Amino acid sequence: MIKKHALLAIAGGVVLFAAFSCSGEKKSPAKTVEYNQPLTSAEISGGKLTAEILWKFGRVSDATVSPDQKTILYAVTRYNVAENKGMTDLFVIPVSGGEARQLTHSDYSASNPRWTPDGAKIAYLSDESGSSQIWEINPDGTGKTMISEVDGGINGFVFAPDNKKLAYIKDVQVEKSPSDLYPDLPKADVRLYDDLMIRHWNRWNDYKHSHIFIAGIDNGKLSGDKDIMPGEDWDAPMAPDFNIDEICWSPDAQSLFYSCKKLAGKEYAVSTNSDIYRYSVADGKTDNFTEGMLGYDRGPAISPDGKYMAWTSMATPAYEADKDRLMIKDLSTGKTQDLSEKFDQSASSLHWSADGKSIYFISAVKGTVQLYRAEPSTGTITQLTSGVHDYTSLAQAGNDLVAQRMSMSQATEIYRVNPSNGEAVQLTNTNKNIYDNIRMGQVKERWIKTTDNKDMLVWVIYPPGFDSTKRYPALLYCEGGPQSVVSQFFSYRWNFQIMAAHGYIVIAPNRRGLPSFGQAWNDQIAGDYGGQNMKDYLSAVDNMKKEPYIDGDHLGCVGASYGGYSVFYLAGHHEGRFKAFIAHCGMFNFESFYGGTEELWFPNHDLGGPYWQKPQPKSYGAFSPHLFVDKWNTPIMIITGERDFRIPYTESLQAFTAARMKGIPSRLLVFPNETHFVTKPQNSILWQREFFGWLDKWLKNK
């Protein structure tokens, strides 16, 4: 259940903190904390990636180009493990290349960095005043000024092109809480609900919704704030991501376009029907520009002349992993065109070219993520880049593109890309000190035949210093999603290079149900969780076992979310192939999962509906792992977070109970304050130590 857009939270998460009292009174930091920590002599002499080194990486994000197209603004997040905290600072670097310059050196993280439309200032969010407010600095880092004083703080903002106003988002209480209903019981501790959704991913419904406000900019300060969604009980941008890129201005600054799912209660929980709305600044009127389109409609982008809107749209209602089509609408005539009708891939991150003749976008293809260009006038789509990497963002800089890129062997950095030939020049080298001192394992692509005679891409990651004359234990990696591509992502937990550095060969198949190999390959998994994709996993393992350097008697199987489900299911169907399992936040019992999860459109589509439906969908009786515990006989580690509402932690508790009652060697890790993901530094390092401690115990002790 890790969504596509789930692969970005992991890579760029920021832990914000402030040294203030609840009243907002400023306190001096107790001590100076160092977030840019060098490698120790032991880490350098070891020469291999470790959990501790992973937390010394600078995590690059939010690359954006100045209005004059000459300078890139970006953020770097670093962590201090001892403090268990992270800090984000802002940097600039010339588009032409050169030295990066750090702009902020504060004790408070910067987020949502933006150039002002005239390029004279850089704005960002910081909680330095006690709540998250907008601050501005000069492009050289001087002249820091707070320009907003919004009660309750701001969660994101975007400038209007005229530089006279901006849109920002903040939480607004629109439903009555228990304290509103019972003001005479101020110490009562309860949540009251009459309808779904009562919680979402990692937070309970707190009776508040994210609303969009428009404010003027008067003498460098915000003024005249107006909620453009007064009284509405839905979120914009949409939960759970609240992505500020779901909001954009028209070039004339007279209209604001935004994505929203204007449904509530049970309807919200079972539907993906979001739409693109236009709010008119002049008369306050709101129009639905995608009415009647019943799947996800997101990411509006307006052409430079203001005549066209591009956006991504899913055709199938209640199917979150449908093809993201590249759509375009003539705003005067209403004529709509699917530019990707003959393009069997999804589109994301849409950007119009400066001349309005092209739309640049990102798309996954064959286990990588590349840059593309669409020509609305001809309907032509051209792949601009190739190679073993993932592009994760893009912006235009003159005749070039500026994009963030990563691979299994390199964390995110910023590149300048020539769209005419795809040539890329690396501009930032944030973690050079690490790459200079550790060895990465080789990553190879391998195509194997599946049981139904299809070709499947399997990424194979080899230990540093791999010797083909030796024999290595191997790990089958089971991807989450389930519709989430095994691409060239660099993860700070499920990191293939750290697995390889521990002496394991990693087998990472793009099994059935994963995007980037055509929509039919992606769609096949729905209603067939224990079917072809499980055969694909075993085909990959059986193929790799033929290699003399694979120790076929010492194979492990690991995965999270749908990957955790895969581990639970394979534990009852692997026929002795594996000697150890690790399942993180996996589904164990489909009936209890349905009753405990929140985004009900997901099991309604993928499992076939609720378990009480008559006749009962096949998935419940054929593919629920708890029905096959009688065949479990292999050591298993089970990991979960108590704040995971996507796959509640009770699924893992059930699996652990079953394993112990069966007398199977097993270990349970429960993180009380983690969600579907483990994001805190010390928790993550502990996770890695336990992960490899378990694998080493069962796969290396011969």
pLDDT in tens, 106-118: 889 999 999 999 9
Q: What is residue 13's predicted lDDT score, i.e. its pLDDT?
A: 31
What's the rounded Cα separation, in Å, for the pair 278 and 366?
A: 36
Residue 26 vs residues 14, 32, 107, 699: alpha-carbon distances, Å = 22, 16, 12, 53
**Taking the CB of residue 218, how many other CB atoms lie within 10 A of it?**
12
List the catalytic residue out of 516, 561, 566, 684: 561
What's the rounded Cα separation, in Å, for the pair 456 and 510?
A: 6
In the structure, what pLDDT confidence band is assigned to residue 701 with cuts at 50, 70 and 90? confident
Average pLDDT over residues 157-179: 97
pLDDT at position 22 over 70: no
In the structure, what pLDDT confidence band is assigned to residue 32 with cuts at 50, 70 and 90? confident
DSSP assignment of 634-678, as one string? S-EEEEEETT--SS-THHHHHHHHHHHHTT--EEEEEETT--SS-
pLDDT at position 516 over 80: yes
The answer to whether the CB of 532 falls within 8 A of the CB of 452 is yes
**Domains in the chain: ranges and CATH:** 440-699 (3.40.50.1820)
Based on the residue annotation, tell me whether 644 is a catalytic residue of this protein. yes
What's the rounded Cα separation, in Å, for the pair 533 and 335?
A: 40
Q: Is 283 exposed, middle or buried (0-12, 13-18, 19+ CB in 10 A)?
A: exposed
What's the rounded Cα separation, in Å, for the pair 90 and 103?
A: 5
Q: Is 303 exposed, middle or buried (0-12, 13-18, 19+ CB in 10 A)?
A: buried
Q: What is residue 4's predicted lDDT score, i.e. its pLDDT?
A: 38
Q: What is the mean pLDDT of the chain?
A: 95
Q: pLDDT digits over 399-409, tens only? A: 999 999 999 99
Lookup: tokens for 145: 């000024």
List the catalytic residue out of 313, 644, 666, 684: 644
Residue 391 vs residues 157, 466, 515: alpha-carbon distances, Å = 24, 28, 16
Write down the H helix ranges in 401-489: 432-435
Based on the residue annotation, tell me whether 676 is a catalytic residue of this protein. yes
What DSSP state is assigned to residue 248?
E
Q: pLDDT digits over 591-610, tens only? A: 999 999 999 999 999 999 99
Q: pLDDT digits over 678-691, tens only? A: 999 999 999 999 99
Q: Is 663 exposed, middle or buried (0-12, 13-18, 19+ CB in 10 A)?
A: exposed
Burial 38-49 (b: 16+ CB within 10 A, else e): ebeeebeebebb
pLDDT at position 585 over 80: yes
| Helix, coil or strand: residue 266 | helix
Q: What is residue 31's predicted lDDT score, i.e. its pLDDT?
A: 60
Average pLDDT over residues 93-99: 98
SS (H, E, C) 94-109: ECCCCCCEECCCCCCC
Q: What is residue 33's predicted lDDT score, i.e. its pLDDT?
A: 87
Which residues touch 151 (CB under 8 Å, ≥6 apart)? none
Residue 513 vs residues 134, 521, 594: alpha-carbon distances, Å = 42, 6, 20
Based on the residue annotation, tell me whether 542 is a catalytic residue of this protein. no
Q: pLDDT digits over 460-471, tens only? A: 999 999 999 999
What element of type H or E holds 396? strand 390-397
Q: What is residue 702's predicted lDDT score, i.e. its pLDDT?
A: 63
Q: pLDDT digits over 175-193, tens only? A: 999 999 999 999 999 999 9
Lookup: tokens for 90: 């802002």
Residue indicated by tokens 């199938």: 316
Average pLDDT over residues 412-436: 98
